[in-house]
Amino acid sequence: MAASSFLTASHAQLARAISGRGTVAAPSQPDRLALSSGGHRLILRLNPKAAELKQRSRRFVKIRSAVIDTADGKPVTEELMERSVNTIRFLAVDAVEKANSGHPGLPMGCAPLGHILFDEFMRFNPKNPYWFNRDRFLLSAGHGCMLHYALLYLTGYDSVKDEDLKAFRQWQSKTPGHPESFETPGIEVTTGPLGQGIANAVGLALAEKHLAARFNKPDAEIIDHYTYVILGDGCQMEGVSNEACSLAGHWGLGKLIAFYDDNRITIDGDTEITFTEDVNARFEALGWHTIWVKNGNTGYNEIRAAIKEAKAVKDKPSLIKVTTTIGYGSPNKANSYSAHGSALGSEEVDATRKNLGWPYDPFHVPEDVKSHWSRHISNGAAHESEWNAKFAEYEKKHKEDATILKDIISGDLPAEWEKALPVYTPESPADATRNLSQQCLNALAKVLPGLIGGSADLASSNMTLLKMYSNFQNSTPQEKNIRFGVREHGMGAICNGIAHHSPGLIPYCATFFVFTDYMRASIRLAALSQARVIFVMTHDSIGLGEDGPTHQPIEHLMSFRMMPNILILRPADGNETAGAYKVAVLSQKRPSILALSRQKLPQLSGTSFEGVEKGGYIISDNSSDNKPDLILIGSGSELEIAAKAGEELRKDGKRVRVVSLVSWELFEEQSDDYKESVLPKAVSARISIEAGSTFGWEKYIGSKGKAIGIDRFGASAPAGKIYKEFGLTAENVIAAAKSL
């Protein structure tokens, strides 16, 4: 090779070139990079993007200053800072290596950011992960969770011990492969699918702004905390993040600070192949304040300055784009997708240790690093103690507000709150359960201080406005009607964040039942993470009529019945709707879906609150000794049809039991004796009727029963006509009964 040669290089070529052994230098020309090895000198002429990459792809560079002035006024030496950051990196590397599974690249690249944020800016108490006024942190790029676990470990959280790091991704460990709030105290929200975490963070920040507006006083700022979140390129690409971030900008959530880990690598390779937009420009258009930290690898002071700047902006959320190198420090895998989703491998781990000057055994934390981080235990206790003293003074001056706030913090419900729910009789006028739902919501709003929610641009159709309140907006954050706009996915994820903020906050959100297809991931995560969100889903069947099959849910009831840890409640009238809300409010560890009708339904004789709590119960029966000739089972709008058919069959001398199966999940939780008292095994003549898929009904009707439902898409026509054409009529039930 000649002493000096020229060639052009792509991102990938550059990454491979600088990962080899040798030295790297920057010639005077900004678009050139010099590489020397074995007496040869290679000059690369970089394409524009690679030139930009040069700054962030270089090998380990020492911090210049001997002593670093940190944001919290605790100066540290450059040596300690480097060791501390590298401790985070290698805890992640070693855990992934031991598991032979995981994502080391993000923790290696984001270690400086994580260090500075947790060590210098965030307020929390490691010994009480649930202290109310703590700052919240979420990792939206949840695959990089070893970053978070390492930080929890170093700061002294009891939930992540040395043995937990070594059990990363193993059975029943406290360090699962993605952050799970129900497994690991200190993890705020269960994030996993990309984009969910940033949307959850919007919900947390909304909750902080709402509660601060309601309870802070000129003489007492009792609620004052930030929500921080790290998101990656994948989160930016997922639509849910844009839905939620659009709302965050609109609402002016000034205490939301998001760090965009700009490492330009996804599983398939360089983002150059899929994602070349100007993210900061987009966020500016969404109403965010934006900052760019160009050297997230070693630019500690840049990171500090960016966080300070973001905290100084009070009227809008902030996005800090932090350009990092994925897998920073790995000689052969840094800045490549191979550092993203798999262990580095023992040889590369050894090479990374040499490259970063890390002579320690796996999972070792140097004593000076331990000592440095240990102060967070006493600092955290002091933060909470100071806040408790402030709250005690607040309670003396503002006793009523303090009592309400304590209930929101603890999750305690007011005494006899359920008595506020309306009661109906058969003489009450027929009405759609969506309208009855609004009556229940407005009754609950008077007695449940934590109730807050809204609709995806359908409030006037799914009847979810709280009439005694105005809209939650940037200028009126104390109000309770949240206008989500046409953003179902973002709406669900934001409500999950609200639910995780405080046990006493009860978020609800609403759309047409068919549009749960847009928000299924958020609903599933609510169920997985045990978040009490009430999903108010109206227009629940072909009964919505003329809008046709695109808007008529057929398979949805059954698909959600298959989902663990969620209640599906399909009430038939006013009493069942009120009972459904009682159950939903009391279900603190799981979400609920209320499937509600558009069409008017009569108030049926025999329905009750208590029956709903059982999930399935008898509304009428002319048999004795638990020996009916026939059992008719219905839910929601079809219970009326079953009841009418039962009346007609009794005229022919039949002993007929009519059962409301309003919630399969609740019914399955009852004792065997109770279930036998409702659905005796000896009675095989059973008919179910429901305006949806018949799949699964064999569980309750047995092999000899008959399921009346819909196993095709719906049609556009008036509701009555569609019901008749699909055989959802009392006449068809009677005919089926006679065939049995």
Is the Cβ–Cβ distance between 629 and 622 less than 8 Å?
A: no
The DSSP symbol for 117 reads: I
Catalytic annotation present for 393 = no
Tokens of 530: 């045990």
579, 585, 588, 594: CA torsion to nearest 10 = 70
Pick out the residues of the known binding site for thiamine diphosphate: 143, 192-194, 234, 263, 340, 515
Q: How far is CA 191 from the centre of its chain?
A: 6
Is the Cβ–Cβ distance between 87 and 366 less than 8 Å?
A: yes
DSSP secondary structure string, 44-111?
Answer: EEEPHHHHHHHHHSPPP---S-SEE--TTS--EEHHHHHHHHHHHHHHHHHHHHHHT-S--HHHHHHH
Residue with tokens 């055994």: 361
Q: How far is CA 723 from the centre of its chain?
A: 37
**Short-list 602, 625, 613, 556, CA closest to 580:** 613
Tokens of 654: 């039949």
Pick out the residues of the known binding site for substrate: 103, 340, 434, 461, 539, 547, 551, 598
User: Which residues touch 64 (CB under 8 Å, ≥6 apart)?
Assistant: 78
What is the SS3 assignment for 461? helix
Measure the CA–CA gap between 152 and 119, rounded to whole angstroms: 11
Residue 536 pairs in a beta bridge with 510, 594
Residue with tokens 């049995």: 740
DSSP secondary structure string, 281-333?
Answer: HHHHHTT-EEEEES-TTT-HHHHHHHHHHHHH--SS-EEEEEE--TTTT-TTT
Pick out the residues of the known binding site for Mg(2+): 233, 263, 265
Q: How many CB atoms lie within 10 A of CB 594?
A: 27
Sheet of strand 656-661: strand arrangement = 616-621, 656-661, 630-634, 686-689, 706-708
Is the Cβ–Cβ distance between 336 and 330 less than 8 Å?
A: no
The dihedrals phi and psi of 322, each to the nearest 5 degrees, come to: -115, 110
Name residue 684's amino acid: S
DSSP secondary structure string, 223-290?
Answer: ----EEEEE-HHHHHSHHHHHHHHHHHHHT-TTEEEEEEE--EETTEEGGGT--S-HHHHHHHTT-EE
Measure the CA–CA gap between 740 and 727, rounded to whole angstroms: 17
The dihedrals phi and psi of 452, each to the nearest 5 degrees, come to: -155, 140
Pick out the residues of the known binding site: 103, 143, 192-194, 233-234, 263, 265, 340, 434, 461, 515, 539, 547, 551, 598
Measure the CA–CA gap between 631 and 634, rounded to whole angstroms: 10
Tokens of 705: 């029963």
591, 592, 593, 596: CA torsion to nearest 10 = -150
Catalytic choice (488, 576, 613, 690): 488
Residue with tokens 């939903």: 584
203, 205, 207, 208: CA torsion to nearest 10 = 170
Measure the CA–CA gap between 277 and 79, rounded to whole angstroms: 38
**Short-list 500, 493, 469, CA closest to 482:** 469
User: Which residues touch 96 (CB under 8 Å, ≥6 apart)?
Assistant: 102, 103, 104, 146, 168, 343, 344
Q: How far is CA 617 from the centre of its chain?
A: 34
List, by residue number, the catalytic residues.
488
